[in-house]
Structure 1
């Protein structure tokens, strides 16, 4: 008879523990729901480009820069710098993360064109900006190699020019 009493007591203790756990979940969910309702936004809504907040202003500037094709240039007024600013203010901003991902390939093309145009210092700045987004991307490694090769070619061109000038001065 005593074993039946202890089994019933164990069942009651287990039932009480389960009910307490469910009650705790309900109270926690209610508090979370009340807080998200008071803020006026759902947890997934986040900021928008015209909501007046700092994040909203930065999103608006980033959208404008994207429309104007300012992906990595000019300095201080481009898509990547604006979205990085958004992520500093709101580290989990899904819109900024998505837009950075969408702009990555076109931005790599811009860096490649900058290298091909011979503006190697600007290309280095742009490449560094993209490396802040994804430091281990293979495309950025390739662009870095192309940039290094262009710097070697430029250095050799300068050395040849210096040698030519020196030869002219020596022949006088």
Structure 2
């Protein structure tokens, strides 16, 4: 009799355990959906708060970028290094707020100094960095004559460098040819 009772309780357990798990899952789903609906209803009444929060976030982002740009200017990081210079910070402000007068005026005022820095970069032989810096300034003023001049100077510097490399290669070939 004990064996039959044991076999019956095993069969009942095989049925009752999945049934209990199903019931617990259903209760969890109902509870979760009610909590989600309540949270959604709470947010429906305050759409302006969400828009205001987004505006505050953008304003604080602009303020941070303007502070970073001022620090970069003070530290002499006008167009270099990449990712941490005043010009990039001011351009980022304009991406967030195209009508930001502070960024527009700062870019306009620093443009001539940036052009002088780029010329020094070209003269120093850092041609790839000069290309990046010229492209950076073009983001602000694409049709500037000064940038056209700097682009010409960069092209001439590249041509000179190419000729120097060709002459060096010819010299090496001549030296190897004489050694054979």
Same fold (TM over 0.5): yes
Q: Are 1:64 and 2:71 counterparts?
A: yes
**Could you list the runs of 5+ residues in structure 2 that have no partner in the other structure?**
1-51
Higher Cα radius of gyration: 2
Partners in 2 of 1:88 and 1:131 — Cα distance?
15
**2:148 is the alignment partner of 1:134:** no
2:91 aligns with one of 67, 84, 102 = 84
For these two proteins, the number of residue pairs brought into alignment is: 123
What is the TM-score normalised by the length of structure 2? 0.66
Q: Secondary structure at the match of 1:69?
A: coil
- Which runs of structure 2 are paired with 1:15-94 in the superposition (5 Å)? 53-94=60-101
Structure 1 stretches lacking a partner, 5+ long: 1-38, 40-46
CA-based RMSD of the aligned residues comes to 1.5
SS of aligned partner of 1:75 = coil
By how many angstroms is 1:90 displaced? 1.3
Q: Deviations over 1:58-88 (max 9, x none)?
A: 0000000011111100000001110111111
Deviations 1:34-70 (A, max 9, x none): xxxxx9xxxxxxx9xxxx7011000000000011111
1:140-155 aligned within 5 A = 140-155=147-162
Length-normalised TM-score, structure 1: 0.69
Matched, 1:166 2:170: no
Equivalent residue number for residue 21 of structure 1: none
User: Out of 109, 112, 115, which is 2:119 matched to?
Assistant: 112
1:91 is displaced (CA, Å) by 1.4
